[in-house]
Amino acid sequence: MTSNALKISGLTRRFGSTVALDDFNLEVGIGELVALLGPSGCGKTTALRIIAGLEKEDAGRVYLGDVDITMRPANKRNMGMVFQSYSLFPNLTVEENVAFGLQMRKVNKSQRVNRAHELLELVGLNSQSKRFPHQLSGGQQQRVALARALAYEPEVLLLDEPLSALDAQVRANLREEIRRLQLALGTTTLFVTHDQEEAMSISDRVGVMNHGKLEQIADPNTLYNQPATAFVAGFVGVMNRIPTKSQNGYVNIFGKDYEAQFIGSVSEDVIALVRPEKISVHASTVNSNAKLLMKSFLGSSTQLTCQLSDGLVIHALSDSQECNNLELGSLITLQYNSKKALVGSV
Amino acid sequence: MAEDLTLSSQLSSFKVTGANSRTGYLRNGIGDILPIAPLVIFLLVFFLWPISAVFVNAFKDNDGTFTWSNYLLLFQDPYRRAFYNSVRLGIISALTGAIPGALIALIIEKIGGNRLKKIVASVSGVLANTGGVPLAFMFLAAFGPEGLATLSLKALGIDIYGHGFTLFSFWGLVIIYSYFQIPIMVIIFSPAIEAIRKEWHDASQSLGASNYQYWRFIGIPILIPSFIASFLLLFASAFSAFATARAMTVGNISLVPLIIGTLLDGNLTVNQFNLGYALAMGMIIIALIAMIPYLIIQRKTSRWLH
Amino acid sequence: MAPLRTKKSTSLIARVFLVCVGILVCLPLIGAAEFSLREGGRTKHSFHAYRWIFEQEDFSKTLLTTLQISLVAVFVTFFLMVPTVAWLHIQGKRYLRFVEVLTVLPLIIPVVALATGAALALPAWIQSSKYILSMMYVVLAMPFTFRALDIGMRGRQLDILVAAARSLGAKWWSIIFMIITPIILKSIFASIFLTVALSLGEFTFAQLLHWSTFPTWVAVAAQGNILGATALSVSALLSAWLLLFSFTFFDRKKQNEAK
């Protein structure tokens, strides 16, 4: 007896000599939105397609609630899926596309038309119901695809990079809309993406994948501040990697010692992992340890590119107001503002 | 010197950069259509003029006065019969080309690797251009009473001449035409099949459709317009084929192109020249009926399957 | 596309089907080739019929005529089509659709009807030259040559390239020969090839306008010597296929290089 909507255990899949999934495990709670994040080729899409039943696994099991559905064909799994693009049926109108799942479930015509309009209303496209997919913009097409996948109240919604073919502005809007709908309908959702901002902004939990394995799964905050592996630390957000020495559980950063939190094995030569926003920058002529190379204005904050005297380039993030007085090429002092420091092995 | 005209007119249109002066504006206006003038004039002389002449002369009698009688003759035998035969040949040959051709294109897409696809594309491209007299003789030699194909089929227990079959017949023509019709179908139908996205099959599955339902509601409806368009093109190709038919039917099937050919050979009276023009107009009208929907469907499906 | 998980049995049936198709494609050709090698009976084979071809005076005569006609057709196509289509892509985009419709018309009209009209309408001084056939072949090939050039130029942003060349001071002739021609070289070859292939095999126009070309001579020669006619047909088909194959091969190689 579990409270999981979806459980995957020991999933393995090989394509020739490459291993797409290597003993992959995942549990998704009822009504939860979980994102699978990773670089391309990390196996996240393969995992999603196996869950949907569109691809075969070499080993492992997929459970829907307590039911083992590993052997169930795709069309009997009652999952909704949204693809990257071009998945709407070009010969059907928007309304017919949305009603298609209900039509397959033998729902009578008037009921499925009503339901299709309900869903189109939810995604704000009721006025477009008689149009054909090629008459819609990319963002509208993905909204229709979302409505289509939700129309028959699937037990799990699977999103396969649904936003990656869209423009930045449309992407940001639609991403929030997905979350709003998902919360309103309470649909258990698994969301595959390579865009960390996307994953971090709307998910309850984010699973970071690499080489067919789940590196870490946690809420976005934990993932960002307490990465469990060096890969997660490097992949999520911007991270400065500063080669340095550790001694007695302390590590030296910009000339000062901080309590070391080791990821992986403890050793003498280490790499300190430092977030840009944890670095403060001061103009100084004495005790300076770096030079300012570039300022990139980002709005409320400004990204500062600095070069240490040993040549290492460091990114810092500073309040725009505070770094007005910093001149390009001037000498500066960098300081790490935290008690503890994440440390990875070389 | 059509080419000189084109080049110099291009020169002028390149030089005109703005419409800020009045002469510039005027020159721009002329330069606007001048570059396509050679092509338009060429088509006027060698295409539209001949066609209009046919149209006009089909309404003339021997003395050059207006008459409907040439057209009215088309509705009487033997010309009515010839049109019937030609249209029937067009339809049946289009079917015997379209159905196997579509199947081959589907199978190649489904099981074929890249190499097989390339081979089939090249072979089809070559066979689609095979026609005329050589094609007729090839079949005559291979499937004649003493031909190797006939003899090997006989050795396998299939006697093609056992039931009174002859290549010099309607069905003989249908068989010979299929030698280029099927490859044409493979060529023009393959893009439609390739345009079918894997996502549509995946999406239909995840929405609960079986394989059968996918083909019924999505796959076949998507392919139908392309199939109809291809069918129409094959119809037109068989309907107006002349060379092979002329070599294969020594007067024993009456087809419109063959009658026109005979009328134009000039051994006959002037009166029948005008009848020939009416026959040609009849062919043009039937071809238009087939080809205009073809072009419309083509445009529509290309938008669908972009 | 490929619906996944094809059953083994369907795959087998498909393969058998393809093999049958292959046999059906080869059977007539092999049969005709074998037939053309016969000498008298069914058992004795020789190149007798092929020697006969070269003994015919009209063979080289009509072949030469056909080659001349196709050469002129190629030149007219090149100088008529390349500058026009280039201009349409550079400055005359609003006429592109109009010309596209115009050039597709010859595909719609049956060749027999067009030949009838040409014989009726074109003045005697045009009809008295065999190169009238070249002009008609340019028209017949136009739906294909226009498409080939149009596709070749589409998406190449010729207008921007030409604007850039002009801002660098290029003359119109260097624009055509140094910028446009190299970019669409493949399409130019394709349209030349289409025109040649069409000219070499065309029968209807030559027959109806009473010109003796290679294809019409084959039809005449056949009435005297069926073995010879078969040998002629086999060699005509084989050389046409060889030409077409070498072109598609060249075409593919070019495409691969482009990638």
With residue A29 as reference, give the H or E element that holds it: strand A18-29
Long-range contacts of residues B177-180, Cβ cutoff 8 Å, at least 24 apart: B177/B89, B177/B93, B177/B96, B177/B97, B177/B238, B177/B241, B177/B244, B178/B93, B178/B96, B178/B97, B178/B100, B179/B127, B179/B130, B179/B135, B179/B139, B179/C25, B179/C28, B180/B127, B180/B128, B180/B129, B180/B130, B180/B131, B180/B135, B180/B237
- Helices within C109-213 (DSSP H only): 111-121, 124-127, 132-153, 158-167, 172-174, 181-183, 185-201, 204-208
User: Average pLDDT over chain B, rounded to whole?
Assistant: 79
DSSP 8-state symbol, C179 = I
Model confidence at B302: pLDDT above 70: no
C197 reaches B (C-beta below 8 A): yes
> What's the rounded Cα separation, in Å, for the pair A32 and B206?
20
What value does the mean pLDDT take over residues B101-109? 89
Other Cβ atoms closer than 10 A to B61: 14
* pLDDT tier at B23, thresholds 50, 70, 90: very low
In a domain, B66, yes or no: no
> What's the rounded Cα separation, in Å, for the pair B54 and C121?
8
In a domain, B63, yes or no: no
Residues in C touching B142 (Cβ below 8 Å): 27-32, 35
Residues in contact with B211: Cβ distance below 8 Å, sequence separation at least 6, in sequence order? C3
My answer on whether B29 and B90 are in the same domain is: no
Model pLDDT for residues C119-139, shown as the tens digit of each residue: 888 888 888 888 989 999 999
> What's the rounded Cα separation, in Å, for the pair C141 and C197?
10
Residue A71: strand, helix, or coil: coil
What value does the mean pLDDT take over residues C196-220? 86
My answer on whether B19 and B146 are in the same domain is: no
Residue A79: strand, helix, or coil: strand
User: Average pLDDT over chain C, rounded to whole?
Assistant: 81
Token output for B55: 């149209």
What value does the mean pLDDT take over residues B280-289? 89
Model confidence at B14: pLDDT above 50: no
Residues in B touching C36 (Cβ below 8 Å): 141
Beta carbons of C229 and B137 less than 8 Å apart:
yes
Q: What's phi and psi for A163, nearest 5 deg?
A: -110, -5
C84, C207, C186, C202: which is closest to C134 by C-alpha? Answer: C202
Beta carbons of B209 and A87 less than 8 Å apart:
no
CB contact at 8 A, B147 and C31: yes
Beta carbons of A101 and B221 less than 8 Å apart:
no
What value does the mean pLDDT take over residues A98-108? 92
**Total structural domains within chain B:** 2
Model pLDDT for residues A238-295, shown as the tens digit of each residue: 888 888 888 888 888 888 888 888 887 777 888 888 999 899 888 877 778 888 999 9
55-84 in chain C: CB under 8 A from chain B: 76, 79-81, 83-84
My answer on whether B273 and B150 are in the same domain is: yes
Token output for A317: 């993030």
In a domain, B19, yes or no: yes
Model confidence at B18: pLDDT above 60: no
Model confidence at A41: pLDDT above 90: no
End-to-end Cα, chain A, rounded Å: 44
Give pLDDT, residue B16: 32
What value does the mean pLDDT take over residues C223-244? 80
Looking at CA atoms only, how far is residue C8 from chain A in angstroms?
Answer: 16
Bridge partners for A21 per DSSP:
A13
Bridge partners for A291 per DSSP:
A307, A331
Largest CA distance in chain B: 85
> What's the rounded Cα separation, in Å, for the pair A103 and A94?
14
My answer on whether B52 and B77 are in the same domain is: no
C34, C246, C27, C236: which is closest to B135 by C-alpha? Answer: C236
In a domain, B62, yes or no: no
Bridge partners for A332 per DSSP:
A283, A290
My answer on whether B205 and B246 are in the same domain is: yes
My answer on whether B76 and B223 are in the same domain is: yes
> What's the rounded Cα separation, in Å, for the pair A151 and A286?
66
> What's the rounded Cα separation, in Å, for the pair C224 and C204?
21
Give pLDDT, residue C9: 65
Q: Calculate what percentage of chain B has a pLDDT beyond 90.
A: 20
Residues in B touching A104 (Cβ below 8 Å): 207-209, 213
Model confidence at B95: pLDDT above 80: yes
Give pLDDT, residue A148: 94
My answer on whether B202 and B110 are in the same domain is: yes
* pLDDT tier at C106, thresholds 50, 70, 90: confident
Give pLDDT, residue B267: 57
Domain that holds residue B202: 72-305
- Helices within chain A (DSSP H only): 44-52, 94-104, 109-122, 138-150, 168-185, 196-202, 220-225, 230-235
Token output for A302: 């400004």
Which of these ranges, A137-141, B39-43, B50-54, C100-104, has the smallest mean pLDDT? C100-104
A134, A121, A138, A151: which is closest to A93 by C-alpha? Answer: A134
Residue A26: strand, helix, or coil: strand
Count CA atoms within 13 Å of residue C200 on its CB side: 18
Give pLDDT, residue B13: 33
Phi-psi region of B115 (alpha: psi -120 to 50; beta: other; left: phi over 0): alpha
In a domain, B110, yes or no: yes
B304 reaches A (C-beta below 8 A): yes
My answer on whether B139 and B251 are in the same domain is: yes
Chains that touch A (3 or more CB pairs under 8 A): B, C
Counting Cβ atoms within 10 Å, is residue B110 exposed (0-12), middle (13-18) or buried (19+)? middle
What value does the mean pLDDT take over residues B53-69? 82
In a domain, B249, yes or no: yes
Residues in C touching B2 (Cβ below 8 Å): 76, 79-80
Which of these ranges, A317-326, C207-216, C221-230, has the smallest mean pLDDT? C221-230
My answer on whether B77 and B127 are in the same domain is: yes
Model confidence at B112: pLDDT above 50: yes
Model confidence at B32: pLDDT above 70: no
What value does the mean pLDDT take over residues A18-33? 90
What value does the mean pLDDT take over residues A55-60? 90
CB contact at 8 A, A19 and A42: no
In a domain, B153, yes or no: yes
Model confidence at A60: pLDDT above 60: yes
Residue with tokens 């079959």: B165
Give pLDDT, residue B126: 75
Q: Calculate what percentage of chain A has a pLDDT beyond 70.
A: 99
Give pLDDT, residue A29: 92
Model confidence at B63: pLDDT above 80: no
Model confidence at C202: pLDDT above 80: yes
Residues in A touching C5 (Cβ below 8 Å): 56
Residue C135: strand, helix, or coil: helix
* pLDDT tier at B30, thresholds 50, 70, 90: low
* pLDDT tier at B305, thresholds 50, 70, 90: low
In a domain, B67, yes or no: no
Judge if the upstream peptide bond of residue C110 is cis by omega within 30 degrees of 0: no
* pLDDT tier at B7, thresholds 50, 70, 90: very low
Give pLDDT, residue B21: 35
Looking at CA atoms only, how far is residue B186 from chain A in angstroms?
Answer: 23
Give pLDDT, residue C5: 44
Model pLDDT for residues C25-74, shown as the tens digit of each residue: 888 888 888 888 887 666 777 777 788 778 778 888 898 999 999 999 99
Length of chain C: 259
DSSP 8-state symbol, B34 = G
What does the buried/exposed string (b/e) look like for C72-94 if buried means 16 or more CB atoms within 10 Å of the residue's CB?
bbbebbbbbbbbbbbbbbbbbee
Residue A35: strand, helix, or coil: strand
What value does the mean pLDDT take over residues B280-303? 82
Residues in contact with A271: Cβ distance below 8 Å, sequence separation at least 6, in sequence order? A241, A242, A243, A244, A343, A344, A345, A346
Model pLDDT for residues A259-274, shown as the tens digit of each residue: 888 887 777 888 888 9
C148 reaches B (C-beta below 8 A): no
Give pLDDT, residue C254: 57
My answer on whether B48 and B80 are in the same domain is: no
Give pLDDT, residue B22: 37
Q: Which amino acid is at C149?
A: L
What value does the mean pLDDT take over residues C90-115? 85
Residues in C touching B133 (Cβ below 8 Å): 203, 215, 218-219, 222, 233
Give pLDDT, residue A28: 93
Question: Pairing relation of β-strands A256-263 and A340-345?
Answer: parallel
Residue of A nearest to B211 (CA): A75
Which of these ranges, B209-218, B243-252, C182-191, has the smallest mean pLDDT? B243-252
Instruction: Give the end of a domain, one of B57, B82, B101.
Output: B57
CATH of the domain at B235: 1.10.3720.10
What value does the mean pLDDT take over residues B117-141? 80
What does the buried/exposed string (b/e) look like for A57-78 if buried means 16 or more CB atoms within 10 Å of the residue's CB?
beebebbbbeeebbeeebbebb
CB contact at 8 A, A12 and A62: no
Residue of B nearest to C110 (CA): B240
CB contact at 8 A, B290 and B274: no
CB contact at 8 A, A159 and A87: no
Model confidence at A301: pLDDT above 70: yes
* pLDDT tier at A18, thresholds 50, 70, 90: confident
What value does the mean pLDDT take over residues A95-124? 92
My answer on whether B22 and B120 are in the same domain is: no
Q: How would DSSP label each residue in A82-109?
A: E-SS--S-TTS-HHHHHHHHHHHTT--H
CA-only gyration radius of chain A, Å: 24
Q: How would DSSP label each residue in A247-281?
A: ETTEEEETTEEEEEEEES---SEEEEEE-GGGEEE
Token output for C170: 């290029």
Most confident listed range (B44-53, C177-186, C202-211): B44-53
My answer on whether B199 and B133 are in the same domain is: yes
Instruction: Give the end of a domain, one of B57, B82, B103.
Output: B57
